[in-house]
Amino acid sequence: MNSLSAWFWSESFWLPPNVTWAELEHPPPGEEYPRADQLLSCLPLAFGVLAVRVLFERLVAKPCANILQIQAGESRRAQPNAVLERVFTSTTSPESRRVEGLSKQLDWDVRKVQRWFRLRRNQDKPSTLTKFCESMWRLTFYTGIFTYAIRYLWVSPWMWDTRQCWYNYPFQTLSPGQYNYYVAELAFYWSLMFSQFTDIKRKDFLIMFVHHLATITLITFSYCNNMLRIGTMVMCVHDASDIVLELAKLANYAKYQRICDTGFVVFSIVFFITRLVIYPFWIIYSVLVESWEIVGPYRSWWLLNGLLLVLQSLHVFWFYLIARIAIKAIFKGKVAKDDRSDIESSSEEETDTNVKSRNKSHPNGSEQSPKKENGTNGFAKGGTKDH
């Protein structure tokens, strides 16, 4: 066990040349260096964050939703069918050939089978009220933690001169502001990791999982080898655009479409500035170039830069999705359907209602070809999200 620990905490990997763990274990009197065991409290705190979230949604978010007349609503349920249910467990969207086979097997119209699968996919999806409460919780956290970070970083010299992130590295003392910020962020991202399996399911589930995992790894990694100065700036840059996004989503759920559209365009601009300008050309530049000049590269230095570049590649992909929605909002005057939508178009549900009403006038049960309605606001079905 000791040999495994010695291998994992190898000084040749974690620390710059000619630096040992023993030197970091004995800071000057009255000062303290970061230690990995200080982060163990983040896991129980993550469950505490989840508990606070539940209370917040019940006591704060839901009353706000009621004031805005946002109701949970009743999801339409597919009629019980053992044959289709067995197929649904293996594939939620069967191919057209299989749908035709099921149509013959059940003596149903093809459209009726398609509608069953659509209702079955949608019936377990969260309501607008649930999504409103989730967004309001995230807005509250991001606003609070971003305000805390700005107040702390504004008076920090490395905020304005990033080269100071590397002077006297790694012998930089841990401040209470840095510790509180790191623990709060890490506990929150652990809670997001846990809740991802119960929250709104999106098409980029795997990408978000990789994002949360990379973020947790980066936060933990930067804490363990005392890169807190650059780490606090990385987290602050990421929180900035999330505030505007959650505001736009709340406006959308409350059906304030103009505020939603404006907010999403502002979010796109903030996202571009913070994650495609400040992050790569200010922060990554500092880690790649300035730290090389002042400290020099070492093994964990390469890992850190690799993780930062993984996040940057995700930023580029997300901005592509965001830009498509923002452009539609500008030129069409309405936020279009999000490519990561977690629920199918409400116009399809309206179509189903129209089909049912037509069927009542046709005793033989034959279905008429419905005319699909346009103008569905898909942003309410699952706004773009980043972390």
Give the integer Cα–Cα distance in Å for 266 and 275.
Answer: 14
State residue 74's pLDDT score.
61
Under the banding of pLDDT at 50, 70 and 90, the label for residue 354 is very low
| 296 phi-psi bin (left φ>0, alpha ψ -120 to 50, beta other) | left
Question: Which part of the chain has CATH 1.10.10.60?
Answer: 82-124
68 phi/psi in degrees, rounded to 5: -85, 5
| Closest to 242 in 3D by CA, of 192, 291, 297, 179 | 192
- Band the pLDDT of 218: cuts 50, 70, 90: confident
Q: Which of 33-37, 77-81, 83-87 has the lowest mean pLDDT?
A: 77-81
238-260 pLDDT, tens digit each: 999 999 999 999 999 999 988 99
Q: Residue 199: exposed, middle, or buried by beta-carbon count in 10 A (0-12, 13-18, 19+)?
A: middle
Residue in 240, 195, 259, 230 with CA at minimum distance from that of residue 386:
240
Measuring CA to CA, how many Å separate 330 from each of 36, 96, 238? 47, 36, 25
31-56: pLDDT as tens digits: 899 999 999 989 999 999 999 999 99
Distances (CA, A) of 158 to 145, 152, 176, 201, 228: 19, 11, 16, 39, 11
CATH architecture of 82-124: Orthogonal Bundle (1.10)
| pTM of this structure | 0.77
Is the separation of the CB atoms in 33 and 180 below 8 Å? no
